[in-house]
């Protein structure tokens, strides 16, 4: 006697759900449309096994040693209570009848625009008005797609169902299939007189103004989401979202690294040696810089809280001022005499050179890190 459990690949104590799942998997793999003619016999065996094991009475007979599909073996051929055309339809055509017509009004697509801002706007935040070319509801028809004074009619082919049924012949016999109605496109209704402005689409292209609040701390690549400000959907459906992508323009003085700002302050050699108070023009206005006596080239002075605003955490980064000491290249006779006297007083007329370890640059440190040094 044929082992139907082995054909389906399930244990003898398999549940009805396990049997049905195994059958569907094998039936899809062995269907002649997929496996060709070579899978036809295997498909028939799988169908026969499911016919028996899905029916409680036939399964009981089979477990007692009687094949109910054999001539004189019981209930005879054909499909029992557990196996019918609905199972066949679900197996081959995606799980049953369509739920109904497709709605004409559908959600619109999301849209993306780019906004260029300067460093000041990124630091403190701003509000901008954008001109966006997008799809909006057709004001002539109000989004329903029909010429004013007319309306959509129920499709005469599918009678509003949005789908039609057809009978297909196969080696199993006649099988009922369901497909979207070609006359109405699956909507269940037709528009005999479409709106002249939107051609029945329910939406038109137009330019509109959108207001966007740019928070402090945004950077190049930051995207701001404006809910329901994207394209209106077909049939006047709900709008998608609008994403505003930020691009920050470079500043003439300050360089941004994260939420910190960096700039270079050039000071005379005498100011670095003697110390002084300088005024620095920052994004927050003029700020006094206390340059201590003996300030060295490359020294960094940090002004707390004068950087870019933190996008999510609140507060602001810092402003880092890099000191560059300017050495005079052209001296008058009097200035040269004064410097020579200073060198004599400091014993630096013929200074002994002192070597120190080289300080690797940014790219050298990055190279060493990548190489594992």
Q: Residues 71, 91, 183, 100: is their CA dihedral positive or negative? A: positive
pLDDT digits (tens, 9 = 90+) for 290-306: 999 999 999 999 999 99
Determine the Cα–Cα distance for residues 63 and 72; give it in Å rounded to an integer: 17
| CB contact at 8 A, 108 and 240 | yes
Q: Stretch 16-44: mean pLDDT, rounded?
A: 78
Whether residue 263 is annotated as binding a ligand: the answer is no
User: Over 60: is that where the pLDDT of 148 sits?
Assistant: yes
Q: Measuring CA to CA, which residue among 236, 201, 240, 241 is closest to residue 105? A: 236
Q: Is the pLDDT of residue 89 over 50?
A: no
**Residue 56 pLDDT class (50, 70, 90 cuts):** confident
Q: What is the secondary structure of 159-223 as a DSSP string?
A: TTSSEEEEEEEETTEEEEEEEE-TTTTTSSEE-SSB-TTTTTSSEEEEEEEEEEEE-TT--TT-E
Residue that the structure tokens 């050179």 belong to: 353
Tokens at 297, concatenated: 């080239």
**How many whole angstroms separate alpha carbon 142 and alpha carbon 204?**
11
Between 178 and 316, where is the model more confident?
316
Predicted pLDDT of residue 370: 47
At residue 285, does pLDDT exceed 90? yes
Determine whether the annotation assigns residue 184 to a binding site: yes
pLDDT of residue 33: 60
Domains parsed from the chain with CATH numbers: 4-93 (1.10.287.110), 255-370 (2.60.260.20)
- Tokens found for residue 95: 């799980």
Do 265 and 322 touch, CB atoms closer than 8 A? yes
Per the prediction, the chain carries an average pLDDT of 84
Please give the pLDDT value at position 359: 56
Start-to-end CA span in the chain (Å)? 73
114 touches 245 (CB < 8 A):
yes
Average pLDDT over residues 237-266: 96
Going by the DSSP 8-state scheme, the letter that residue 135 receives in this structure is E
CB atoms within 10 A of CB 61: 18
Tell me the pTM. Answer: 0.63
Mean pLDDT, range 322-333, rounded to an integer: 92
> How does pLDDT run across 186-196, given as a tens digit for each residue?
999 999 999 99
pLDDT for 171: 57
Q: Which two tokens stand for residue 324?
A: 């560059």
Residue 198 assigned ligand-binding role: yes
pLDDT over 90 for what percent of the chain?
A: 57
Strand-pair partners of 129: 211
Percent of the chain with pLDDT over 70: 82
Q: How confident is the model at residue 173 (pLDDT cuts 50, 70, 90)?
A: low
Q: How much is the pLDDT for 196?
A: 95
Residue bearing the bigger pLDDT, 205 or 87 = 205
- At residue 149, the pLDDT reads 94
> Is residue 24 very low, low, confident or very high in pLDDT (cuts 50, 70, 90)?
confident
How much is the pLDDT for 39? 67
Q: What is the pLDDT of residue 99?
A: 59
110 by DSSP, 3-state: which? coil
Residue 274 tokens read as 């003697």
What's the pLDDT band for 75 if we cut at 50, 70, 90?
very low
Per-residue pLDDT at 323 exceeds 80? yes
Does the annotation place 181 within a ligand binding site? yes
CA distances from 35 to 24, 206, 255 (A): 15, 51, 64
- Predicted confidence at residue 32, as pLDDT, reads 64
The pLDDT tens digits of the residues spanning 151-170 come to: 999 999 999 999 988 776 66
Query: Other C-beta atoms within 10 Å of 138: how many?
Result: 22
* Residue 33, Ramachandran bin (φ over 0: left; ψ between -120 and 50: alpha; else beta): alpha
């Amino acid at each position: 006697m044929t082992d139907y459990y082995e054909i389906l690949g399930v244990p003898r104590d398999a549940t009805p759900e396990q049997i049905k799942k195994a059958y569907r998997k094998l039936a899809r793999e062995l269907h002649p449309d997929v496996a060709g003619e070579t899978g036809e016999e295997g498909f028939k065996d799988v169908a026969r096994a499911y016919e028996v094991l899905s029916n409680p009475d036939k399964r009981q007979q089979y477990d007692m040693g009687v094949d109910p599909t054999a001539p004189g073996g019981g209930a005879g051929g054909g499909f029992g209570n557990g196996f019918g055309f609905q199972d066949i339809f679900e197996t081959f055509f995606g799980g049953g009848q369509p739920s109904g017509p497709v709605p004409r009004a559908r959600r619109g697509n999301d849209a993306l625009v780019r906004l260029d801002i300067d460093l000041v706007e990124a630091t403190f935040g701003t509000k901008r008005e954008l001109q966006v070319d997008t799809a909006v509801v057709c004001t002539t028809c109000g989004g329903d797609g029909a010429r004013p004074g007319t309306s959509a009619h129920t499709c005469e082919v599918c009678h509003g169902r949005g789908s039609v049924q057809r009978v297909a012949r196969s080696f199993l016999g006649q099988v009922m299939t369901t497909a979207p109605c070609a006359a109405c496109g699956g909507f269940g209704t037709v528009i005999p007189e479409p709106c002249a402005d939107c051609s029945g689409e329910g939406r038109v292209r137009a330019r509109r103004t959108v207001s966007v609040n740019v928070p402090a701390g945004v950077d190049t690549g930051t995207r701001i989401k404006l809910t329901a400000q994207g394209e209106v959907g077909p049939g006047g459906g709900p709008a998608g979202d609008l994403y505003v992508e930020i691009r920050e323009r470079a500043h003439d003085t300050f360089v941004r690294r994260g939420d910190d700002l960096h700039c270079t302050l050039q000071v005379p050699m005498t100011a670095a040696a003697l110390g002084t108070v300088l005024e620095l023009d920052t994004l927050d206005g003029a700020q006094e810089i206390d340059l201590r006596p003996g300030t060295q080239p490359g020294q960094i002075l940090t002004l707390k809280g004068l950087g870019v605003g933190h996008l999510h955490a609140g507060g602001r980064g810092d402003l880092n001022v890099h000191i560059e000491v300017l050495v005079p290249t052209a001296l008058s006779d009097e200035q040269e005499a004064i410097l020579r006297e200073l060198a004599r007083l400091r014993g630096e007329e013929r200074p002994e050179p002192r070597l120190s370890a080289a300080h690797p640059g940014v790219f050298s440190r990055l190279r060493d890190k990548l190489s594992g040094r």
